[in-house]
Structure 1
């Protein structure tokens, strides 16, 4: 019993140490967001500010247009997630439950796409977006991510675990393929879909590379790109407002994860993903 308690204690200590390492940058970000310039640019390393100053948040909201960036980010991530669910669900269902000659080849292509970094295809996708006249628009941020190879693979694994009896019972009751898919099978995979939703929102909310390529007007910028307005090649970084903006940008993700954490954990467990 003593050795078991010691083992549990060591595991908890290791997890606590890992949590501290992961949370320390966020804690330092919060600290910088409430410091004035004299407190930030000092030779002394102090975690807590000498004087709590919330003017950085006011500057982030007014001068930094953080509200516009948050709205842009919410619109882009929401539309991407909806389009991805509408495309990956039928694709994963067909690859998992239907038998046809090209199924192994198509599934192999999905796996191959998972191995290709998005930066590799950035230039040809950019040229197509530019040719279509979509540069500097919501469409340029949304259309290239309307589907997800990772989502297809994830839900493919989920559809394979569902019993055939569900589909057979729906057919016996006169349900069509489309109705059975969205009203009977999809609800069984809600935890897995929620887990994918968290991954998708986090990735596209924090994406800086692609918006940097296709967005030129600051009013169309997403949150990570918008923060860059506080960076100057001549005057350095306006650290206080930048950290205040980063804090405001991270908060929606934290609230979304807290709301969906139970579904997220269930989905990750069911999918067998190791974080």
Structure 2
């Protein structure tokens, strides 16, 4: 390959990546622009990202006064934390057993996990709702978290990662007298932080943005997670104050953006390593 062709190929890749970045960032940039504009500029015929008159304070003050925004954010943090902690506590030992232990039915369990990835929440929503309603558990944190406490995707992701851990390391720990749970806590977990971080990003993003299930089990604004809170905000705004609505959307999306930027290195490392096989 000549230097010119290598340079041309690199320029083409950069152009494609830049175009993709612009396509993905454009909605967010437009959301930020709308959140800073007064109502008359949003509905004007001119197309401009920079507002002529700034309405940042007005729009963001509405975002925090029309609905209990801080409570909505707190609900999202609590629900995502409950789901993530239980998912990790369940998925880690399950994935370790499937990856490093030999027992009858292991292959069948792996096949069942693969099939479980194909089952959407919509298929199980009705029986879960009926059970929660019968138990009087609607409008609670438990009802928001219950369908997601066991993640087959988490088991599959950790399974792929644990297969890359050398068996010699596990055998050495057993020779030192560690139990299997001790190996998980003292050997596997310290080496699995990239995979745990990657899964945490997937889990938090999915459940922070989830709207389908909260619409089913939550009817009170005080228990709403952020996406459902935006619907309540939309109703309170009578549908025409898009500047305030976009300001509320910015407030809801900023925590996810900050979390991803903070953990992006380990996230990429975890996704890369889960593709390796021992």
TM-score band (shorter)? over 0.9
1:126 aligns with 2:108: no
Deviations 1:76-105 (A, max 9, x none): 101110000000001111111222222222
Residue 25 of structure 2: aligned partner: 23
Q: Find the aligned partners of 2:46 and 2:221 in 1 and give their Cα distance.
A: 35
2:161–2:275 CA contact under 8 A, matched in 1: no
Residue 261 of structure 2: aligned partner: 258
Q: Find the aligned partners of 1:45 and 1:233 in 2 and give their Cα distance.
A: 27
1:269 aligns with 2:272: yes
Q: Describe the SS at the equivalent of 2:18.
A: helix
Q: CA RMSD in A?
A: 1.5
Residue 43 of structure 1: aligned partner: 45
Q: Find the aligned partners of 2:237 and 2:13 in 1 and give their Cα distance.
A: 48
1:231 aligns with 2:234: yes
1:57–1:241 CA contact under 8 A, matched in 2: yes
Q: Describe the SS at the equivalent of 1:161.
A: coil
In structure 2, stretches of 5+ residues that fail to align are none
1:230–1:239 CA contact under 8 A, matched in 2: no
Q: Find the aligned partners of 1:133 and 1:104 in 2 and give their Cα distance.
A: 39
In structure 1, stretches of 5+ residues that fail to align are none
Residue 2 of structure 1: aligned partner: 4
How far has the Cα of 1:233 moved from its partner? 9.9
Residue 154 of structure 2: aligned partner: 151
1:188 aligns with 2:157: no
How far has the Cα of 1:47 moved from its partner? 1.9
Number of equivalenced pairs = 273
Residue 34 of structure 1: aligned partner: 36
How far has the Cα of 1:45 moved from its partner? 2.1
Residue 112 of structure 2: aligned partner: 109
Structure 1 window deviating more from structure 2 (82-91 vs 112-121): it is: 112-121
TM-score using structure 1 length:
0.95
Q: Give the alignment partner of residue 89 of structure 1, picking from 92, 103, 114.
A: 92
Q: Give the alignment partner of residue 165 of structure 2, picking from 162, 166, 173.
A: 162
1:192–1:268 CA contact under 8 A, matched in 2: yes
Q: Describe the SS at the equivalent of 1:236.
A: coil
1:230–1:238 CA contact under 8 A, matched in 2: no
